[in-house]
Amino acid sequence: MTAHLHRDLIGERLIDAARDALVLAGEQWTEMRADVFEALVARDTPASAYDIAEGVGARRGRRVAANTVYRILDLFVRTNLARRVESANAYVANPHPGCRHDCIFLICDSCGKATHIDDDSLTGALREAAQKAGFADVRPVVEIRGLCSRCVAA
């Protein structure tokens, strides 16, 4: 297995890195974007835009539209601050926003946790096959469903 070497950031270090990456991408780190990112980081499992809107709305004391959160989450995906779990229509914070690579998610059918792993040999083969078929700008996203070790042991 070929893996990227990186250190996952947590807490304030992750929030600071996300802010810096967004600004470096030419975007503004607004209060609403900060609230959405913090709500995403606080989750143990992938979160939908509706989950995030509810949490941010509760924190702000007023309703936040899911469409607003969707736009922010799409921006976060484009700028590598978050990843989209396609099969769940949900999002997770990227714990290493400075590292760009393909997505392989292991998703637990019992607890809902999504674990991200790197395997360049697998995603590289997928990218190469897609390019041979005439696809450009290929972005492999692989999702494997099953039971995590914690749920298997329970």
Q: What share of the chain is helix, strand, coil (3-state, %, to 5)?
A: 45, 15, 40
- Exposed (0-12), middle (13-18) or buried (19+): which is 49, by Cβ within 10 Å? buried
Distance of CA 2 to the CA centre of its chain: 21
pLDDT in tens, 7-31: 666 778 899 999 999 999 999 999 9
Q: Are residue 18 and residue 77 in the same domain, yes or no?
A: yes
For the chain, how many structural domains are there in total?
Answer: 2
Q: Which of 93, 121, 139 is the last residue of a domain?
A: 93
- CATH number of the CATH domain containing 109: 3.30.1490.190
| Mean pLDDT estimate for the chain | 88
pTM for this prediction: 0.82
Is 78 a residue whose pLDDT tops 80? yes
| Higher pLDDT pick, 118 / 40 | 40
CA-based max dimension of the chain: 52
Q: Are residue 120 and residue 49 in the same domain, yes or no?
A: no
Is 100 a residue whose pLDDT tops 80? no
Is 34 a residue whose pLDDT tops 90? yes
CA 38/CA 29 separation, integer angstroms: 12
pLDDT band per the 50, 70, 90 thresholds, residue 2: very low
pLDDT in tens, 111-126: 999 988 878 788 888 8
| pLDDT for the residue numbered 1 | 40
Residue 110 included in any domain: yes
Residue 130 included in any domain: yes
Q: Are residue 26 and residue 66 in the same domain, yes or no?
A: yes
Q: Which domain holds residue 134?
A: 103-153
Residue 1 included in any domain: no
Other CB atoms closer than 10 Å to residue 4's CB: what's the count? 13
| pLDDT for the residue numbered 138 | 79
Q: Are residue 89 and residue 109 in the same domain, yes or no?
A: no
pLDDT in tens, 121-141: 888 888 899 999 999 877 788
Q: Are residue 22 and residue 54 in the same domain, yes or no?
A: yes
Residue 38 included in any domain: yes
